[in-house]
Amino acid sequence: MRALSKLPFLPRFSKQTTTIYPKIYIGDDNKITADTLLHEYVHLADWKKIGLLFPILYLMPQIFALLAVAAIGGNLWWLLCLLFLLPIPSPTRAYLEWRAYRAEMIFEYVRTGQFGDIEHRIEQFISANYYFMFPFKKYIKSKFTEAANCARVELTGCLSEALAEAISSLNP
Ligand SMILES: [Zn+2]
């Protein structure tokens, strides 16, 4: 985990709580909230489901810079692979983070009736925090809004159903 924190495209890795299956590493401040725990749990569950594909998808396309090692064989063109270290967007990392941030947002809604700071979540996708993994603010905002609307409708439906059941069970 600490070694990974040295990667240039994960600049804040050691400061944040993060997951490397099968463990969750608590950030430098040693604090973890239920929201963050759920976020990391989504990563754990995804990692468990798809195995080694998870870290590969997460680190794409920057992970392709490793191919530069092939230059040792004499063909220096492989060094061009180092260009993958540039902040090229990563739809795969963004998708895996999206699953976790969406769960966190819905959990907050269930807990408090509010979706929390959606702008802060959007910021994670477009900023250096995750190496500019998805710098398309409008799109990611529409996805969060869509998920929020969906949760509002679904959960209200589920809650009213549960309430109706509870009320009917009270009636003889
Ligand atoms: Zn995450």
Domain count, the chain: 1
**Whether the Cβ atoms of residue 24 and residue 38 lie closer than 8 Å to each other:** no
At 135-147, the pLDDT tens digits run 999 999 999 999 9
Question: What's the 35 CA to ligand 1 centre distance in angstroms?
Answer: 11
Encode 28-71 in three state secondary structure: CCCCCCHHHHHHHHHHHHHHHHHCCHHHHHHHCCHHHHHHHHHH
3-state secondary structure (DSSP) of residue 20 = strand
Domain hosting 145: range is: 4-170
Question: What's the 69 CA to ligand 1 centre distance in angstroms?
Answer: 29
Question: What's the 130 CA to ligand 1 centre distance in angstroms?
Answer: 9
Q: Output the pTM of the full model.
A: 0.83
Question: What's the 170 CA to ligand 1 centre distance in angstroms?
Answer: 43
At 79-91, the pLDDT tens digits run 999 999 999 999 9
Q: Can you tell me the distance from the alpha carbon of 91 to that of 61, in angstroms, rounded to the nearest whole number?
A: 9
Question: What's the 39 CA to ligand 1 centre distance in angstroms?
Answer: 6
Query: What pairs with residue 25 in β-bridges?
Result: 18
Number of residues written out for the chain: 172
Work out the mean pLDDT of the chain and round it to a whole number. Answer: 87
Question: What's the 136 CA to ligand 1 centre distance in angstroms?
Answer: 18
